[in-house]
Structure 1
Amino acid sequence: MKKWLVVLICSLFIGLHGGNVLAEEGVGVELSYQEKKDIITEIGLKYEIPPEILKAIAYVETGMRQFDENGNPIMNANDDGGIGIMQVTLHEDDLKHREINREWLKWDTAYNIEVAAQLLDEKWNWTGTILPQVNDGERDVLENWYFAVLAYNGLEARNDPNRNETTYQERVYQTLSTRTLLPEMDFPSFQVKYEDGGNIMKFVDDHAETDTQTKSTQMFTEGDHVYSYALEPGSTINFREQPTVSSRKLGDVPLYMPLTVNGKLEHDNHRDNLFGYYPFHYADAHGFMASSYVREGKITEFYDIRDQEVTEAVGFLEARGIISGYSDGSFRPYEPIYRRHVAAILQRALDLEVPSDYELQATDMREGDLGYDEMKAMEYHGIMKGSNGNIRPNEYMTRAQMATILTVVFDDQLATPTVKHTFEDVPMDFWSYEAINRLYDNGLTTVNTFRPNENVTRSQFALFLKRVMDEM
């Protein structure tokens, strides 16, 4: 190819995408990893593809490189036609039909990434016909892209996990989890069939589920309400002066701290870091926090909660729409909690359904009373039954009653005790000893003095509920 023609092609595309230039005839200039991650994120947002997915594909395909050490475009070693950073693979007829320029794919990184995003989006749109839908099909859930990523590499049997221990799509997801510091993700189970002697997968079902559903942490934009999050309770998150791991630390951000995104996602120049950094104002300072520790949601900073463990428990439940505070900005953590309030919290946590024709058997509530529907759900599911025909919605709940309710609700999640613990104030013949001992045996309480007849406070109930939900 003539030098002037290569320069002309790249110059035209630079105006559109800010692509590469040529240092000399036939030699490509590699963009920095920071620039490439910026481009991938921008294009991912444009096509509503989680940037984590595109970054992981680029990493698995080429180590995020467009050119080799000699400045030549990286071409697939197996001569299947894969080109550049995303190893875009299209036959000549397909290139012509799609009006895709092969030379631009070779020499322009941004163009290569954008074409790859278009192809991946096309595979996504096969969902429900050629490919199964994963979960509810929301685009910002990373696991939901499993089959689109598989199809990006090809529907051949090599990507069938029932035949091969290691598949392309699973390598992409393992890279994604490791390099973005997100929890390991589950893969959907599925069955395929093949035509006689064929090598192309045809999916038996049109839907698949995963146990985990991990939302992208790299699709937030300026003004979005988010909060700080980490898997390890009680930990803190580094708040840095610049968007790099080596930048000076301005301080620590506790978990479940409400934040507002102040700008676009920024990146460092490290190839192996597939996460980015969001700018925030926190504690009167402007700094950056890694995207891995940001979650979507509006959390209330309650002025009357000072204990960090309580802050995390309340934030955990509020983020899931399970619990709330009062209109004056308080949570009132030390107030005892009504039985009907516990019912409302559990109803939201468990999404309990009740037949429309079911009538509350308890005689101390009427339809229209505060908490009627929630208490009816508790009665129907055997969570609260009351005594002497009364379900007592406006009584405070005791700690012993809380223990019994939690062990009923989360029976499947809590292991059966192997020993009987000795409590200072709970004899073994106490009516709720078994429930209290089960909480202790599962590590949900560590005290020897349980105070079973005391009223449970709002903060205590939040703590216990969060602990047991962590076991789910």
Structure 2
Amino acid sequence: MFKSQRIKKLLASTATAAVVAGALIPTAASAATFKDVSETNVHFDAIDILSDEGIINGYSDGTFKPNNNISRGQVAKIFARMIEGEGELKEVFKDVPVTADPELVKAAYEVYTQQIMTGSNGYLKPSSNMTRQQMAKVLVEGFGLEHLEGEESIVTDLDKASPEFRDYIKILSEYGITNVEQFRPTEPVTRAQFASFLFRTLILLDEEE
């Protein structure tokens, strides 16, 4: 688990402050500033708090585009913002050369070094949509989650997941990070959904401290 000082501070300032009597409390207006994210959006609190912390960003036109699918490159950047370290302008994936977006190059280095995202055959595929089963892997690997003794997964469509991702999905279910029976492992994850999955994981880690 990459529980760096950055993560510990994040948990202290974000998850703990956001949970009172089991209810999420939005922090300073951040998601509210996104033209396309209203307070009625079920993902509002996660987007609000994580954007306030600078972990997730919107677009220059003032939108968050919550229903857009999140890309692998965007996820790499999100994790890199939570890792203590400056990253390096060094090529670790064939499709993320040092001439690419500097933030992406540094993020790719961080997630590869931490073994959060290892790519496929040397490629990160930063522009590709992240699938729900891939998301399960990065959350489990990124935060060092293991099978929870005494808990069972309620997911019933594991047969639709690639074998190498099934344990990751089970772990998310055991912890209640996902609480659905139909996980839909090969479908893409939206930006709003990823914010909620990430925030639930951060709250989980805070409760274990």
The TM-score by the shorter chain falls in which range? 0.7 to 0.9
Structure 1 counterpart of 2:19, one-letter code: L
Are residues 336 and 429 of structure 1, via their aligned partners in 2, closer, same or farther at CA, if it must alter by over 3 Å? closer
Structure 2 counterpart of 1:339, one-letter code: R
Match for residue 142 of structure 2? 409
- Cα drift, residue 310 of structure 1: 1.0
Aligned partners of 2:156, 2:75: CA distance in 1, in Å?
27
Structure 1 counterpart of 2:92, one-letter code: Q
Confirm or deny that 1:338 pairs with 2:71. yes
Matches within 5 A, 1:11-410: 230-232=18-20, 235=23, 255-256=26-27, 258=29, 300-306=32-38, 307-354=40-87, 359-370=90-101, 371-410=104-143
Are residues 321 and 466 of structure 1, via their aligned partners in 2, closer, same or farther at CA, if it must alter by over 3 Å? same
User: Normalization by structure 1: what TM-score?
Assistant: 0.37
Aligned partners of 1:390, 1:402: CA distance in 2, in Å?
17
Is the helix fraction higher in 1 or 2?
A: 2
> Is contact 1:425-1:451 (8 Å) kept?
yes
**Deviations for 1:113-159, whole angstroms, at most 9, x for unmatched residues?**
xxxxxxxxxxxxxxxxxxxxxxxxxxxxxxxxxxxxxxxxxxxxxxx
> Is contact 1:333-1:457 (8 Å) kept?
yes
Are residues 462 and 233 of structure 1, via their aligned partners in 2, closer, same or farther at CA, if it must alter by over 3 Å? farther
* RMSD of aligned residue pairs (Cα, Å): 2.9
- Cα drift, residue 213 of structure 1: 6.5
> Is contact 2:153-2:171 (8 Å) kept?
no
Match for residue 426 of structure 1? 158
Is there any run of 5+ residues in structure 2 with no aligned partner, and where? 1-8
Is the strand fraction higher in 1 or 2?
A: 1
Are residues 233 and 383 of structure 1, via their aligned partners in 2, closer, same or farther at CA, if it must alter by over 3 Å? farther
Equivalent position to 1:439, from 172, 176, 194? 172
Confirm or deny that 1:452 pairs with 2:180. no
Percent of pairs identical after alignment?
31
Are residues 366 and 230 of structure 1, via their aligned partners in 2, closer, same or farther at CA, if it must alter by over 3 Å? closer
**Deviations for 1:94-124, whole angstroms, at most 9, x for unmatched residues?**
xxxxxxxxxxxxxxxxxxxxxxxxxxxxxxx
Are residues 400 and 363 of structure 1, via their aligned partners in 2, closer, same or farther at CA, if it must alter by over 3 Å? same
Are residues 352 and 448 of structure 1, via their aligned partners in 2, closer, same or farther at CA, if it must alter by over 3 Å? farther
How many residues align? The count is: 189
> Is contact 2:31-2:37 (8 Å) kept?
no
Structure 1 counterpart of 2:123, one-letter code: N
User: Normalization by structure 2: what TM-score?
Assistant: 0.78
Are residues 425 and 256 of structure 1, via their aligned partners in 2, closer, same or farther at CA, if it must alter by over 3 Å? same
Structure 1 counterpart of 2:192, one-letter code: S
Structure 1 counterpart of 2:188, one-letter code: N
Aligned partners of 2:86, 2:18: CA distance in 1, in Å?
32
Structure 2 counterpart of 1:327, one-letter code: S
Match for residue 4 of structure 2? none
> Is contact 1:257-1:301 (8 Å) kept?
no
- Cα drift, residue 299 of structure 1: 5.6
- Cα drift, residue 432 of structure 1: 0.7
Match for residue 26 of structure 1? none
> Is contact 1:379-1:385 (8 Å) kept?
yes
- Cα drift, residue 463 of structure 1: 0.4
> Is contact 1:234-1:309 (8 Å) kept?
no
Structure 1 counterpart of 2:47, one-letter code: V
> Is contact 1:404-1:436 (8 Å) kept?
yes
Q: Which of these two proteins has the greater Rg computed from alpha carbons?
A: 1
Aligned partners of 1:425, 1:352: CA distance in 2, in Å?
38
- Cα drift, residue 390 of structure 1: 1.3
Are residues 434 and 352 of structure 1, via their aligned partners in 2, closer, same or farther at CA, if it must alter by over 3 Å? farther
